[in-house]
Structure 1
Amino acid sequence: MLGKLLKYDMKAGARMIPVTYLAIAAFYLLGLIAKGLHINQLLATATFLIVIAGIAAGILTLIYVILRFHKGLFGAEGYMTQTLPVGKGQIVLSKVIASYVWMVLSVVAAILAFFALIHLHDVKELNKLISYIFGSSFTPLVVFAVSTGFVQLIAYIGELYFAITLANTRPFIRNNVLFSVVFFFVANFVVGLLEIAAMLFIPIGIRITESGVSLTFETMIGSLFESGNFFNSTQAPLSEISIGIASGFADLAAGIGLLLLACWLLMRKTSVK
């Protein structure tokens, strides 16, 4: 049953989101043609359209994540969903997986759009700035940032689903849209604090230096204080600190916890409007 639910949820996203991916590719091709023909106005137009398509991919994905969950459980489809011979956990899991897949694809599309812009414009000054700030640690830092970002998506989905579910309990259902927004920002703020605290104070991290990446067991806040000449150093600044990776564990725990709370509310407290 989970497979059928997942197939249905994935198809719902496939109706609109991939159009933005195709648009990014088409506008990039247009930019390559304009660059080859030295038509600056057309190149500028293609650049603008790539940016718009990248933003549209993110917005449409967010709309999909919100609407699929709300409509599927509390909107027009809610009554049918509630009668399916399947547990609430499987229904939520299907939507989480589908949402996560489409969000990852949209993030990848946005990253590719960014590199497309760099390729179209040969931004040499940007390369110099990156080299000065990060040195040879840029690539491993990007890998770390992207990996952390993919984990953060789980927390983000958890925040959205928890906020929507809590807003559809009896005390808040009359103004569920307003309360969904309020609860999301509250959840996002709390998770953000947990993420920062875990990054700074839990003693596990990575240190990225010229020689490579190494695992460390020191707090990020401690390494910041220990590198006394951090802001005046001639080395790449980030090579002097231990970057806390416990924030990823905090995001994962928060995301799972919020999703479990959403499931509990679905089984006991929510109503279909």
Structure 2
Amino acid sequence: MLGKLLKYELKASGRIFIPLYIVILIVAVFNGIFMNTNTFQIQGILILILTSLFMALGVLTVVVTIQRFRKNLLGDEGYLMFTLPVSTSSLILSKCITALIYAVLSFIVAVLTFGVFMISSTYGVLLPEILELLNTSFKWISENFLDILLLVVVMFISYSSFILLLYTSLSMGQLPKFNKHRNIVAFASFIAINIVISIVGDALGSILPNENMYYHLYQSPHFMITILGGIAVVVILFFATKFILDKKLNLE
């Protein structure tokens, strides 16, 4: 059932993100075409458009994450969603995984856009120089693969905790006692939980012994503890959201 929920969520969010991705890539291609011309006015307009599109993408990523959860589970549609033969965990996971997938796709689009700029800016550079640059890059990646992998893991954990923090805050705003101030309570909850996480993180960091400089991240006990702490935050926020939806849900 989780697969069907994911398919539904991906289609619903894709109606917003996919057209924006296509427009960004088209503008990036035209930017690359005019990069090596003397039409500076067109270049400036295209760069401004591309920058605006990326800003819109960043804002939409957060807005869609909030709206899909709020409208689908906390609004009128919630009456239907919670009658489906599917667990609350699956409903939350489908939203969270979809948000993560589109975050990854947004990153890929950004990399492709950057690639277009790189190719355009290296116009006239000899092929051996390009191959040498690629060879150096791949060599650096292979030497630091575990560090890069750990950074990717941390990014996933951090973004997952951000998504679940939004879900928990929105769910707290739906508690019956806050009927008249749902938005204010949701916002206040987001700030308050962030503060608590920061305080706990600082407290744990202060009791850990100082460590020497390490060449690789995986050699650092502090970094590994940070990963475990991030996982703990994700788990706590997930079950907090699930508890509210299961026991305290007050639909609009």
Counterparts of 1:22 and 1:208, CA distance in 2: 42
Paired residue total: 232
- 2:224 & 2:106 partners in 1: Cα distance? 24
5+ residue gaps in structure 1?
123-135, 220-243
Unaligned runs of 5+ in 2: 123-139
Aligned-pair CA distance for 1:16? 0.5
Q: Which has the higher helix share?
A: 2
Instruction: Report deviation, 1:162.
Output: 0.5
Shift of 1:103: 2.1
- TM-score, normalised to structure 1, is 0.73
1:132-211 pair list within 5 angstroms: 140=144, 145-195=151-201, 202=208, 209=215
Match of 2:234 among 255, 258, 262: 255
% same residue? 25
- Tell me the amino acid that sits aligned with residue 33 of structure 1: I
Aligned ranges 1:46-125 → 2 under 5 Å: 46-113=46-113
**Alpha-carbon distance in structure 2 between the residues aligned to 1:101 and 1:204:** 37
Q: Are the equivalent residues in 1 in contact too, given 2:68–2:95 (CA < 8 A)?
A: yes
Q: In the alignment, which residue of structure 2 is the partner of 1:44?
A: 44
TM-score by structure 2 length?
0.79
Higher strand share: 1
Question: CA separation in 1, counterparts of 2:224 and 2:121?
Answer: 34
Runs of 4+ in 1 over 6 A off after TM superposition: 203-206
Q: Find out whether 1:216 has 2:219 as its counterpart.
A: yes
Deviations 1:40-61 (A, max 9, x none): 2222222222221112112112
**Paired position in structure 2 for 1:234:** none
Measured in 2, the distance between the counterparts of 1:97 and 1:180 equals 22
Q: Contact (CA 8 Å) 1:172, 1:179: kept in 2 or not?
A: yes
CA distances 1:115-150 after superposition (whole Å, capped 9, x unpaired): 65566668xxxxxxxxxxxxx89x957765444222
The more displaced of 162-171 and 96-105 is 96-105
Q: Partner letter of residue 55 of structure 1?
A: M
Q: CA RMSD in A?
A: 3.0
Once the 2 structures are TM-superposed, how far is the Cα of residue 252 of structure 1 from its aligned partner? 2.0
- Separation in 2 of the partners of 1:172 and 1:8? 31
Q: Distance in 2 between matches of 1:71 and 1:146?
A: 30
- Please report how far the alpha carbon of residue 87 of structure 1 lies from its aligned counterpart in structure 2 after TM superposition: 1.7
Residue 137 (structure 2) aligns with: none
Give the Å deviation of 1:11.
0.9
Shift of 1:17: 1.0
Deviation at 1:247, TM superposition (A): 2.3
Q: Which has the higher contact order (CA 8 A, sep 6+)?
A: 2
